[in-house]
Amino acid sequence: MSTDHAGTAASGLKSVTIVGASLAGHASARALRAQGFDGRITMIGDEVHRPYDRPPLSKEFLTGRATLEDLALEADDEQLDVEWILGTRALSLDCPERLVTLSTGQSVRSDAVMIATGSVARRFDRMIDGVHTLRTVEDAVALRADLVPGARLVVAGSGFIGLEVASAARALGVDVTVLGSSQWPLSRTFGDTVAATVQRLQESRGVRVRNNVIVDAVLGTDRVTGVRLSTGEQIDADVVVLGIGSRPAVGWLGESGLDVRAGVVCDEFGATAAPGILAVGDCAAWFDPIRGRAHRIEHWTDSRDRPSISVARLLSGRTPRQGLRPSYLWSDQCGSRIQFAGRLLGGEELTIEAGGVETGDLLMVYRRGGNPVAAVGFNQTRLMAQWRKSLTVSAASVSPPATVPVAEPLSQPFGA
Amino acid sequence: MRICSLADLAPGVALRVDTVSPPIAVFHTEDGEVFAVDDTCTHQDASLTDGWLEGCEVECPLHASRFDLRTGRVDAPPAKRGIRTHAVTITDGDVHVLISAAEPNLPPGVSY
């Protein structure tokens, strides 16, 4: 039987609960139906909204060019036949019983549970007025209200969220300073050479970027007045955005017995050590055959695409033979479209393949041992599509190490 | 309308035609079939001609939604609506396209 049509009859599964109603949760429901599962799907989400797309929250939604309706992930003609429990938090998971207990006091028991609770933005202890994180549509609405022309914004963190917010804020006429702890903005992601290009791009739009600084505290009593650096230096601000990373939303799994030290630890297909319990999306740390350990990938495309692998694993009990594409991410900032594809372990060699640093149409390729492993482009959409294609082909030829543990296939339906 | 000679469109290659509005994309697949669809992704302003052709599907170069060239259907978010398909005929070695009478599904903020 092919894994594409391993439906309810083959797996013995009658019900699946998906905890988390964002990109990975929605993709899980779609994959279940696409692969022939016709049992009950219960979708639990802590936000009141049906699944929506988060990347625009720091871009066109923040500047007011997109509405919440534009962000909906569900298509008009989508018939997922899902039981929605929204605006409700999951408090705990009993793995042997596959029982999810909710903040409302009710609980949901099912044959399988897919954990898709995502991640939460890191915060400071003092989140006074004017201090923001950006994760939800409500966060974006609150931040937009503070981004008035002439306001002084300080962004703590020079990662994707921080830089995209900086870009959107400049477009709204706000004075922006980015304070990053790394050598250059995004240098931990791209390496110094490419990151220096990112900095020039931000500065070309009037963003002040400072590197190698640590924001220690926000200042102000009722409302923020600035931030203090680890050196003691104070910087005035009317608005502060914290873009200082995220942590997996796994607090509710503390008593579950699952390994959640670095996200929910899974095999290569998203299955945890507990039968019938899988994890996908930002909260999941899948075994990575190249790194040789569980690794959390927090990229949009992985959250969208990996659930179909987990669902195939769940429905067939076998490990689907489908290679994962190299990670892909994009970032729109300061009028430039940055795209990245591949996998970096550090120490790769970089070469310019097209365009140039000065012309804003740079395409660089990272090589390890002479083989291309990743590419990054600035306004190089067409070439990047070609590089993604060739990187996928080369990734498929990488054989995993012989020591990869393969989870036991399910010999009988869950709960049997 | 005549687009080009089939000999000028190698397998695996796409051609953007912007003499019509909205522009269309003509794809010659590796299997030797020729398809014509609207060139603009329904999610955001991106040219599918710049995308990734694999079998009978093209993947948008921006956010990786895939469109089936035979039906115009989209496989996954962020795009939620399919693209128009246009009838293709090959006559005397030339590619001809009959533009669909259906309304195009253009992304928000894009008009032709």
pLDDT, tens digit (0-9, with 9 covering 90-100), for A230-283: 999 999 999 999 999 999 999 999 999 999 999 999 999 999 999 999 999 999
- Domain final residue, candidates A244, A266, A291: A244
Q: Which residue on chain B is closest to A331 by alpha carbon?
A: B62
Answer whether A66 sits within 8 Å of B108, measured CB to CB: yes
Residue B72 to residues A107, A144, B2, B87, B104, Cα–Cα distance (Å): 41, 36, 21, 12, 11
Confidence of residue A408 (pLDDT cuts 50, 70, 90): very low
Answer whether B62 sits within 8 Å of A337, measured CB to CB: yes
Write the CATH number of the domain with boundaries B2-98.
2.102.10.10
Number of domains forming the structure of chain A: 3
DSSP for B52-79 reads EEETTEEE-TTT--EEETTT--B-STT-
Q: Please tell me whether residues A240 and A129 are part of one structural domain.
A: yes
Contacts A300 to B, Cβ<8 Å: 63
Is a pLDDT exceeding 90 seen at residue A319? no
Question: Can you give the residue ranges of every domain in chain B?
Answer: 2-98
Establish, for the pair of chains A and B, how many residue pairs have beta carbons separated by less than 8 Å. 47
The tokens describing A187, both together, are 């240098």
User: What gap in Å lies between CA A97 and CA A109, rounded to an integer?
Assistant: 7
The pLDDT tens digits of the residues spanning A86-125 come to 999 999 999 999 999 999 999 999 999 999 999 999 999 8
Predicted structure pTM score: 0.91
Mutate one of A382, A390, A393 to test the B interface: name it (highest B CB count within 10 A). Answer: A382
Is A403 part of any domain?
A: no
- Nearest C-alpha of chain B: how many angstroms from A86? 21
- Domain final residue, candidates A244, A274, A294: A244
For A70, which of B47, B52, B108 is closest by C-beta distance?
B108
Domain coverage including residue A379:
335-390
Answer whether B80 sits within 8 Å of A75, measured CB to CB: yes
Confidence of residue A8 (pLDDT cuts 50, 70, 90): low
The pLDDT tens digits of the residues spanning A15-56 come to 999 999 999 999 999 999 999 999 999 999 999 999 999 999
Q: Please tell me whether residues A307 and A372 are part of one structural domain.
A: no
Tell me, what amino acid is at A72? Answer: A
- Nearest C-alpha of chain A: how many angstroms from B92? 31
Provide the mean pLDDT of chain A.
90
Q: Please tell me whether residues A91 and A137 are part of one structural domain.
A: no
Is A7 part of any domain?
A: no
Q: Which residue on chain B is closest to A379 by alpha carbon?
A: B62
SS3 call for A364:
strand
Return the axis-axis angle of helices A23-34 and A307-316, rounded to nearest 10°: 40
Backbone region of residue A135 per phi and psi (left: phi > 0; alpha: psi in -120 to 50; beta: other values):
alpha
Q: Please tell me whether residues A149 and A227 are part of one structural domain.
A: yes
Answer whether A304 sits within 8 Å of B80, measured CB to CB: no
